[in-house]
A and B are shown apart, each in its own frame.
Chain A
Amino acid sequence: MTDWRLCNLIDDRPADGVFRLHRAIFDDPAVFTLEMARIFEGGWVFLGLSSQAPDAHDFFTTQVGRVPVMVSRDGEGALGAFVNSCPHKGARIAQTWSGNARVHVCPYHSWTFDSAGRNKAIKWKKAGCYPQEFDGTSHDLAALPHFAEYRGFLFGSLVADVMPIEDYLGEASKLLDLVADQSEEGVELVPGRVTFTYDANWKLQLENCADAYHFTSAHPSYIRILEERQREASDAGVVRSVWENSDYWKEEAEGIGGGSFSFANGHVLNWGIFGVSDALPLYERAEALKAKFGEDKRNWMFNMRNLTIFPNLQIAENASSQLRVIRPIAPGKTEMRTWCIAPKGESARARQQRLRQYEDFFNPTGMATPDDTVSYENCQRGFAGKVDPWLQSYVRGATASRPSGNAFSEMLGMAPERSVLADSQLCDETLYQSYYRAWAQRMAGAFGE
Chain B
Amino acid sequence: MITRPEAEDLLYREALLLDTGAWQEWLDLYDPDAEFWIPAWKDETTPTSDPASELSLVYYKGRRNLEDRVKRATSGLSVASTPRARCVHGVTNVIVSEAQDSAAQVFASFTVHRYDARAERSDLFYGRYEYQLRHDSGRWLIAAKKVILLNDVIPTVLDFYSI
Contact = CB atoms under 8 A, between A and B. Distances in A.
Contacts of B92: none
B158 interface: yes
A98 interface: yes
Contacts of A437: none
A369 to B, nearest CB: 8
A239 B59 CA distance: 10
Contact of A370 (B52, B58, B62, B157): B157
A377 B55 contact: no
A363 B57 contact: yes
Contacts of A220: 75, 77-78
Nearest to B75: A221
A366 B51 CA distance: 15
Contact of A355 (B51, B68, B78, B154): B51
Contact of B71 (A225, A335, A352): A225
B44 to A, nearest CB: 6
B156 A377 contact: yes
A238 B40 contact: no
A127 interface: no
B42 interface: yes
Contact of B62 (A98, A237, A355, A364): A237
Interface in A213-261: 218, 220-222, 224-225, 228-229, 235, 237-239
Contacts of B59: 355-356, 359
A363 B65 CA distance: 16
A196 B77 CA distance: 23
Contacts of A375: 79
Interface string B125-161: 0000000000000000000000000001111111110
A191 B72 contact: no
Contact of A192 (B55, B68, B118, B121): B55
B81 A221 contact: yes
Interface string B78-117: 1111000000000000000000000000000000000000
A195 B62 contact: no
Q: Give the residue among B43, B72, B157 with the most A Cβ atoms within 10 A.
A: B157
B41 interface: yes
A378 B119 CA distance: 9
B24 interface: no
A378 B118 CA distance: 9
A109 B20 CA distance: 53
Interface in B32-66: 38-44, 48, 51-59, 61-62, 64-65
Nearest to B43: A97
A441 interface: no
Contacts of B71: 221, 224-225, 228
A34 B18 CA distance: 45
A169 B29 CA distance: 53
A84 to B, nearest CB: 15
Given A192-B41, A348-B53, A374-B79, A364 B157 contact: yes
B152 A192 contact: no
B69 interface: yes
B157 A238 contact: no
Nearest to A364: B154
B159 A359 contact: no
B72 A237 contact: no
A339 B61 CA distance: 22
Nearest to A223: B77
A67 interface: no
Interface string A177-201: 0000000000000111111111100
A434 interface: no
B52 A365 contact: no
A197 B151 CA distance: 12
A96 B44 CA distance: 7
A191 B42 contact: yes
Contact of B156 (A198, A222, A356, A359): A198
Contacts of B118: 374
Nearest to B44: A96
Interface in A339-393: 339-340, 348, 351-352, 355-356, 358-359, 363-367, 370-371, 373-375, 377-378
A190 B121 CA distance: 32
B57 A371 contact: no
Given A222-B72, A348-B53, A370-B78, 6 more contacts: A190-B53, A192-B56, A193-B42, A199-B121, A359-B58, A371-B78
Interface of A: 96-98, 190-199, 218, 220-222, 224-225, 228-229, 235, 237-239, 335, 339-340, 348, 351-352, 355-356, 358-359, 363-367, 370-371, 373-375, 377-378
The 6 A-B residue pairs whose C-beta atoms are closest, nearest first, are A192-B55, A370-B80, A192-B40, A237-B62, A370-B157, A221-B78
